[in-house]
Chains A and B, each alone.
Chain A
Amino acid sequence: MRLRFAVASSRKRALLSGFLLSTFTLFFFLVASSTESGAIPAFARKYGLPCSACHEAWPMLNVFGQTFKDNGYQLMNDRDSPIWQNPSYWPATFRITPHWHRESVNTVSVDTPAGANAGLSRISSNGFDLTGLDFHTGGTLYQNISFYVLPSSDATGAFHFETVMARIDNIAKSSWLNLKLGKYELDNIISEKRILTISNNGGVYHLYHFIPPGDSNIWGQMGDNQLGMELMGHSVNDRTRYSVSLLSSNDGTVGLPNRNAYSGFVTASQAFDAGYQGGVDRIGAYYFGGVAPTTAIMSGGAPILGVGNKGFNREGVFGLLYVKKLDFQIFYQHGSDSAFFGTSTPSNAPLPAGARSPIWNGVFVETHYVWNPQLLFIQRSEFIRMSQQAMAGTDPRLGDVDAFTFGYRWYPIMFSRAGFAWHNEYSVIRQHGTAPTGGNLASSSLMAGFDFDF
């Protein structure tokens, strides 16, 4: 899911073609395997509620589903402990999406059969395909003690742990004290793991993964699940909520790849009823910052331990606004990395003359028109603008992103045993100055398929 953009300096462009193709392939591969979400028919089966009770359209949560999640997957009706369940109940769900898709990139450096560079070409490919498989299991172990384990595979079936966490809720009988430990999604109210768009380009919020061209900080991606511990609290009706996470700055990679590097994620939000019907409105703010390694100790030519920590930060505001059948998700981010990251310089080496922190601002607006719980139309417009490049002489617009996604989801069935959707989507992204020619790099995705979970 990491979106790495081309290094733009002219001297590196010669190396760019192969890198772009491999990046495109990697991006395609990672995004195709990243449709994990929190749509859990197992919860619906447990409580006998339709999908639409918790999901505006699965997997996106509505206010009731968010409250359920914030209560540690409990309805708080004294029937949450598994002791109340039929012993045969097994809280497991899988999700996978067979689909057809077409991917297109406007400028890719291609090789001859002999391996020599043959120049630039537009690459388009289409065909039938699979996403990865997400195998969700989660729920209560006891009243106020719950867990979530999500082994997730890529499209070839190679698994990793996307989420593994346990949580204790309502400590001292207070909804303001809930503790979570493990690998989990950051407390993003606009959740990428519950995103309604799933194509290669549209399946991510680019702002959640943005890395300026030439920047080496892959650790500050708030869209990736992270390893850490979270203290979270909320009012009984979930109108007011906060969370504080202490994270290892390793982007969720297990095995302690980074030494003594920590970051933090803090968010708070307030919901209210603006009176336009359709849902509960919410506004909030977040901060994600810390330190992460700029280089690594090597052994046998391979990195074994990240060292040389430098800082990064992303902060901003978000909002959910409802007007009858329309709703808007609005997200703003101001981001910055250390100049060491910005210039890909190890901390034990001198910075290039004039190096400075790269700074950017970005916003996206996602709109849903919910015709009814079984049919909704989606659009998202996303814009990222560099406000300061790491090197003063760099094109000020290098790395700017424009991304647009349109689609609809139709759920021919929606009940408490399974979810099934016909999904159709088109998404296009354009990044300024990162094509091998120095022009804009553009790619598009068109996909249609069956998205289901059981």
Chain B
Amino acid sequence: MRTRSATRLTIFAVILLTALYGWGQETQSSEDQRLNLEAHVGKMTGQARVGQPIYKRFCIGCHGPLGDGQGENAQWIDPKPRNFTTATFRCRSTPTGTLPTDQDLYDTIGRGLVNSNMPHWLPLTNHDRVNLVAYVKHFSPRWLKEKSGTPIEIPKEPEPTADRIKVGQTLYQKLECWKCHGVEGRGNGPSADTLTDDENRPIRPFNFHDSEKFKCGTADWQMYKDFMTGLDGSPMPSFVDNVKPDEAWDLVFYLRTLQPMNSKEKQIAKQLGLKPIAGAAQPPANNPQ
């Protein structure tokens, strides 16, 4: 009996070890495969293997050795560093739910993210940044299975006018942007305190009065892009199905009137005497009779 038990145990152990070895090989193979990932920006080609030491030098403290946003400093940082393993990115030129282009990631690294600990890494060489893009991609197997989304088309920007700004303001109310961003765009809408990101962490809506920049850039077209692609991983949805391109531009112009710097839109708003929207319709007055 004892011999038979020992034999069974040995066979079980061999099977287990073989399975573990096989799994380890597969994991290693997958890792190797992902380390062969490339990124292409313009004429530059980035390689994940080359990006690895650059990532270790500059990024590991926040994004962590596994790219899961659990670096040693993550606990002190708010908003939390991006988790690259899910390949979900805020700033994209591609439709919601799709992978960003290499150019999108390259631009984010170079631009940084406003109101976060992510600085702009413009001082690095262009090659370093494109190698970093390749290494960032290697953290998620999605890049082996899926292709980047097709960038959305951005129509030519029209001239901001008083009418457009008024339409933008109406849309701000109609689309209920104010519920999160507040009636004055200060990020203090009635839903603001309830919002969470895709990892169920509390998240604050953008305060337009705080900065001359938007989340994903400083130019009008970048704000337009945010409406149409949404900021994946955050409660900010894509409005591509609800907003016509012209209307999206109107929203951009209205949001410009909320920002702290002097702009053409702000001057127009001043001439119009634009007041903040009312927000939710006032409840009917309570009539005791």
Contact = CB atoms under 8 A, between A and B. Distances in A.
B57 A49 contact: no
Give me the 4 closest cross-chain CB pairs, A-B, nearest first: A48-B73, A75-B119, A50-B61, A237-B122
Interface stretch (B22-30, B123-131, B148-156, B271-279): B123-131
A44 to B, nearest CB: 8
B76 to A, nearest CB: 6
B62 A49 contact: yes
Contacts of A275: 127
13 contacts: A50-B57, A66-B123, A77-B113, A77-B114, A77-B116, A236-B122, A238-B123, A273-B127, A277-B125, A279-B125, A280-B125, A373-B57, A416-B61
Interface in A272-306: 273, 275, 277, 279-280
A355 interface: no
A47 B114 CA distance: 14
A273 B130 CA distance: 13
A109 interface: no
A64 B122 CA distance: 8
Nearest to A54: B58
Interface string B83-126: 00000000000000000000000000000111111111111111
Nearest to B50: A277
Contacts, number: 82
Interface in B25-58: 50, 53, 56-58
Interface residues of A, number: 27
Given A64-B121, A275-B127, A277-B50, A79 B116 contact: yes
Interface in A166-216: none
A415 interface: yes
Interface residues on B, range: 20 to 34
A238 B119 CA distance: 14
Instruction: Label chain B's interface by main secondary structure.
Output: loop
A53 interface: yes
A372 interface: yes
B60 interface: yes
Contacts of B19: none
Nearest to B116: A77
A67 interface: yes
B213 interface: yes
A372 B53 contact: yes
Contacts of B220: none
Contacts of A75: 112, 117, 119-120
Interface in A64-83: 64, 66-67, 75-79
Given A78-B213, A238-B123, 7 more contacts: A48-B61, A49-B62, A50-B57, A64-B124, A75-B117, A279-B125, A372-B53
A415 B72 contact: yes
A238 B116 CA distance: 21
